[in-house]
Amino acid sequence: MEKYEWLPTANAPELYPTYIHNGHFYLEDDKSVYIPTAGVNSNGWGNSGSTHSQGEDLKALPVKMDITWASYMEKKFYTGSWDMPIETLKKLFEKGTIDWRTGKVSNYTEIIVNCAPGGIVVVWVYGDDQQIEVARFQAKETHVPMQDLIPANPTLSYKEYFDVKESVPEAYENLKKNGIQYDIWDIYRKKYTWRAKTEIEGHKLMNIGFKMFNGEGETIFNEKITEPVKENSFKPRAIPKQLNFIFEDSKKLKTVFEVKPFEEEEIMGLFKQADPKQLIEIILRMSEDFSNRSLIFKQGDKEIPITKVDLDNMWKYE
């Protein structure tokens, strides 16, 4: 049984805060680690949260997990227990990752859990700017006695407990305006076959970094890190939320261009209207002197400018 250096962590969507009452990963060697929380979780879908050093540095991989949490915007509790996809985890950790900054072999260092309205639980592995979804679970509603939630104040009302307006006022503003879109987390998980590339005269593409709406992340680079990107294939990916390029001129001077973030309605609309039978490219295009900048959504001969982006968000890569 192989062991690896990883830690559990958890979070929730920015506008749908949660609190993890308890949660655990049960490992292949019959040990366990708890899923930590630091008060209200609302740092963004797919993001890490707090981590606690626990157990041995090298840990077996999890074969099972359970979790119980409070969903503040719904004023509900959810709970669930599931088998983890242990064979998928083994393949990923056995292969490991490569640090694109150094070229050194590395590995995944976090197993991330996020909880969303409706009882949705998604689990990813993260390491070296690579993040891959490994599981999507469905929890059930439950009840947690107040004496278990807050033993020091068991007479607190549930109305008071679920009121976190001071911590996340923007969540209440969003709830009043938009309600809860329960299906959005699975809409985010839909994948399209696409790639990103540059068309900049006199410059070579060195690195592409993605962060997708489904929480996954990816970095494309040449394993010989001083050389340009060699393989940039089309592959199924969720719709991009953030995207950055690093490109290099003939003098080895590197520049970064970053889209952070895409305007959700615009980019989601472009992908949804696309022909599912055709490949998609997102192209950063500009002149050698960086004038005439544009970001293009291309499918076949059809090109659509992506307009709601900051085309001046560029800087020298140090």
In the predicted structure, residue 253 carries a pLDDT above the cut 80: yes
**The amino acid at 112:** I
Residue spans of the domains in the chain: they are: 4-185, 190-316
Is residue 318's pLDDT more than 90?
no
Q: pLDDT at position 109, please?
A: 97
- Over residues 12-32, mean pLDDT: 97
The residue-averaged pLDDT of 115-144 equals 98
Cβ-Cβ contacts under 8 Å for 307 (sequence gap 6 or more):
266
What's the confidence (pLDDT) of residue 37? 83
Is the pLDDT assigned to residue 39 strictly greater than 90?
no
Residue 6 in this model has a pLDDT that exceeds 90? yes
pLDDT at 97: 97
Q: Is the peptide bond before 261 cis (omega within 30 degrees of 0)?
A: yes
Exposure class string for 60-81: b at 16+ Cβ within 10 A, else e: bbbbebbbbbbbbbbebbbbbe
What's the confidence (pLDDT) of residue 200? Answer: 98
Structure pTM? Answer: 0.96
pLDDT value, residue 279: 98
Yes or no: say if 65 and 81 are a contact pair by the CB < 8 Å rule: yes
In three-state secondary structure terms, 97 is strand
What per-residue confidence (pLDDT) applies to 297?
A: 98
Displacement of CA 161 from its chain's centroid (Å): 29
How much of the chain, in percent, has pLDDT values that exceed 70?
100
Q: Is the pLDDT of residue 155 over 90?
A: yes
For residue 38, pLDDT beyond 80: no
Interval 133-161 mean pLDDT? 96
Mean pLDDT of 104-113: 97
Confidence label for 288 from pLDDT (cuts 50, 70 and 90):
very high
219 sits in the region (left: phi over 0; alpha: psi -120 to 50; else beta) called: beta
Strands 7-11 and 110-116: parallel
User: Looking at residue 132, what is its pLDDT?
Assistant: 98
Annotate 100-135 with b (16+ C-beta within 10 A) or e (fewer): beeeeeebbbbbbbbbbbbbbbbbbbbbbbbbbbbb
Tokens read off for 193: 């076959």
Sorted by sequence, the CB contacts under 8 Å of residue 121 that are 6+ apart come out as 67, 80, 82, 113, 114, 115, 135, 136, 137, 138, 139
Top CATH class of 190-316 equals mainly beta
Supply the pLDDT for residue 141: 98
Tens-digit pLDDT profile for residues 222-251: 989 999 999 999 999 999 999 999 999 999
Report the alpha-carbon distance of residue 103 to residue 87 in Å, rounded.
Answer: 27
SS3 10: strand
pLDDT at 55 over 90: no
Rounded (5°) CA angle 283-211-52: 160
Average pLDDT of the chain to the nearest whole number: 96
The per-residue DSSP string of 156-206 comes to --HHHHT--TTT-HHHHHHHHHH---TTHHHHTT--EEEEEEEEETT-EEE
Task: Give the residue-averaged pLDDT of 288-292.
Answer: 97
